[in-house]
């Protein structure tokens, strides 16, 4: 058997082994529509950052549109995952990660452009780190702490506020019965400041719920139950 034939047979054997090899569970979970939408949200981040580097009215409007699309896909992928029963380990990891990445990227770029104060980003980032740490500890102890209404308000105000900060400039808004002039930067700052207040509130509520759950677990009755 010559050398070329041996190489060909080795290549064919490797091809057969690859074909027989089963895909990992994580790879199988990745290829569904909700998780692909989540990945698409992450891939939008470089495009968003590129638009925010040029702070003229057109690119600012485009940045706001990109962030709005990312926010809509966040709602859609969660709805589809629940409706089609496609809640996966990959989705549980990627979905909150994508949310935090694009929100933090947007806030950092807004600080760079001078559209929002740096302390706002510090407060929001600190809140996310604290709550994420508490969730990790709670999950390791088998505890589940439900998100409160104040956290949902924080998220809603933050998303709308960031979109307004991205648009930034003064634009006319047609309400149907009249046209009003809107200073989107002012609207965005107010909403982001409000979301910062809700962030602190939700972090305090979450921390208290975490301590209360630990206290219940420490009671003899809870241990014997």
Q: Give the model confidence (pLDDT) of 63-110 as tens digits.
A: 999 999 999 999 999 888 888 888 887 888 888 889 989 999 999 999
Looking at the chain, the whole-number percentage of residues with pLDDT higher than 90 is: 43
What's the pLDDT at 221? 55
What integer best gives the mean pLDDT of the chain?
A: 85
The whole-number pLDDT of residue 167 equals 95
Superfamily (CATH) of domain 9-114: CDP-alcohol phosphotransferase transmembrane (TM) domain (1.20.120.1760)
Structure confidence at residue 225 (pLDDT): 45
Of 28-37, 120-129, 186-195, give the lowest mean pLDDT range.
28-37
Full 3-state SS string of the chain: CCHHHHHHHHHHHHHHHHHHCCCCHHHHHHCCHHHHHHHHHHHHHHHHHHHHHCCCHHHHHHHHHHHHHHHHHHHHHHHHHHHCCCCCHHHHHHHHHHHHHHHHHHHHHHHHCCCCCHHHHHHHHHHHHHHHHHHHHHHHCCCCCCCCHHHHHHHHHHHHHHHHHHHCCEEEEECCCCEEEEEHHHHHHHHHHHHHHHHHHHHHHHHHHHHHHHHHHHCHHHHHC
Write out the residue limits of the CATH 1.20.120.1760 domain(s) in the chain: 9-114
């Amino acid at each position: 058997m010559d050398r070329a034939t041996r190489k060909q047979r080795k290549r064919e054997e490797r091809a057969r082994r690859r074909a027989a090899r089963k895909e990992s569970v994580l790879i199988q979970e990745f290829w569904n529509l909700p998780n692909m939408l989540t990945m698409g949200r992450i891939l939008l981040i470089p495009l968003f950052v590129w638009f925010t580097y040029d702070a003229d009215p057109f690119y600012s409007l485009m940045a706001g549109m990109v962030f709005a699309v990312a926010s809509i896909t966040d709602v859609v992928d969660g709805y589809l995952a629940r409706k089609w029963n496609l809640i996966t380990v990959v989705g549980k990891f990627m979905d909150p990660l994508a949310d935090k990445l694009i929100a933090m990227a947007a806030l950092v770029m807004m600080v760079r452009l001078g559209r929002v104060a740096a302390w706002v980003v510090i407060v929001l980032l600190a809140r996310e780190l604290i709550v994420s740490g508490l969730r990790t500890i709670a999950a390791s102890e088998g505890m589940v702490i439900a998100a409160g209404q104040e956290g949902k308000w924080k998220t809603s105000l933050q998303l709308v506020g960031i979109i307004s900060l991205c648009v930034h400039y003064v634009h006319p808004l047609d309400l149907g019965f009249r046209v009003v002039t809107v200073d989107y930067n002012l609207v965005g700052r107010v909403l982001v400041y409000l979301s910062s207040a809700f962030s602190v509130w939700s972090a305090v509520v979450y921390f208290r719920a975490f301590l209360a759950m630990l206290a219940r677990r420490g009671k003899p009755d809870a241990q014997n139950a």
